[in-house]
Structure formats: structure tokens, C-alpha cells
Amino acid sequence: MPGVDTCNVHRLNILQLAPGGHLGRFLIFTKDAFKALNSVFGTPSTVSAEKKGYHLNRSVMTVADLSRIINSDQVQAKLKDIKHVKRTHDKTKKNPLTNKAAMLKLNPFAKKKTELVQAAEAKRHANRAAALKAKRSKDGKKGKAARSAGYAALQKGLTDAYKAAEDLIEAETKAGNYQPGETDEEGDE
């Protein structure tokens, strides 16, 4: 007969009784097979005669409808209320280097430090403005002219000294007394 499978009671297999893990197969046992089930698997109170040390588990629940049990008034009365989690901190971590409020939480001196830096910057700016004003005044222009004249005199003196040294070397070269690399001093050893 198609769709009908037979199986020996001593070789029952879960894959044959519930293929794919789906319960609900229609099973028909013969009278002798049903009597043999107790000797093969035992009972909750007696051990199996054919399988060493095997006995059926005692059924713990008399009603298998878990959702009905959990949602019953007796169980719900004993349960604690649902805890609502309160967020203890922000979702995102604030960067104290870019967020002033976060920096003030971590470092209360940050506000005073910012004020001190701004005051120092303002003082530096005022000093710079005063220095520029002094440079642009008549006295500043006279001082710059004096410095420029001193610098020009130094440059002229250096140029004249180099020119005199070059002329001396040229004159000695023409006379044949100058050898490149010779010096009158003996400092290099």
C-alpha cells in the first residue's frame, strides 16, 4: 500500500516516526508490539529489560500548554513587574576636545584656562600693536634710519675688506709670490 511504512518495535527510529522533526504521524501498533514496548523501553517506575539502564522519563508536566500556564492569573500574580531600563548615559560619547560641556565635566579648570589664554592673547595683541605704533612713529623711523645706516656701513666695510684682500692676492699672483692654499698662519694642524 503506498504511503504506509512498517517497522519492528525493537528497532523504532525517530526519523521514521517523525521525519523532519514534525510530529503527527498516524501510528498503528499490533497487540504483541504494544506489549513489547514495556520490555523495550520500560515504564516510568521500572527499568527496560532490553536496553541496559534505560527507563522512561517521568512526565513533569500534566498540561503541556505552556502559553496557557504562563499567561494564567496564578503565575502572573507571582511574577515581578516589568523593569523599564533607564538610560544612565548618552548614546554617543562626547569628545571633550571638541565639546566644551564634556570638557568642563572632566576638567573644571578648563574654563579658567580658556579665560587665561584669551587674556594672554589680548595682551600679546596689544603689545604687538604698541610695538608697531612705536616703529611707525618719528622716533621709530629715526631709529630705523640709524640701524639701516649702521648696517650699510658694516656691509661697505666688509665689501672693502674683501676687495682689499682680493687685490692683495692678485698683486702677489702677478709678482709670482702667491701659491693657492698657502697661509702665513700655522693654525691648521
pLDDT digits (tens, 9 = 90+) for 27-71: 888 999 988 988 888 888 888 888 888 878 877 777 778 888 888
* The pLDDT value given to residue 182: 63
pLDDT of 9 higher than 80: yes
* The pLDDT value given to residue 32: 92
How far apart CA 50 and CA 38 sit, in angstroms, is 10
Query: Which positions ≥6 away from 69 have C-beta within 8 Å?
Result: 63, 75
pLDDT digits (tens, 9 = 90+) for 71-100: 899 989 998 888 888 877 777 888 999 999
Task: Tell me what percent of the chain is helix, strand and coil, each rounded to the nearest 5.
Answer: 55, 0, 45
User: In 10 A of CB 37, how many CB atoms?
Assistant: 15
Nearest by Cα to 169 from 156, 157, 183, 188 = 183
Residue 133 amino acid letter: K
CB-based contact 99:92 (threshold 8 Å): no
How far apart CA 100 and CA 104 sit, in angstroms, is 6
Three-state SS at 98: coil
* The pLDDT value given to residue 185: 61
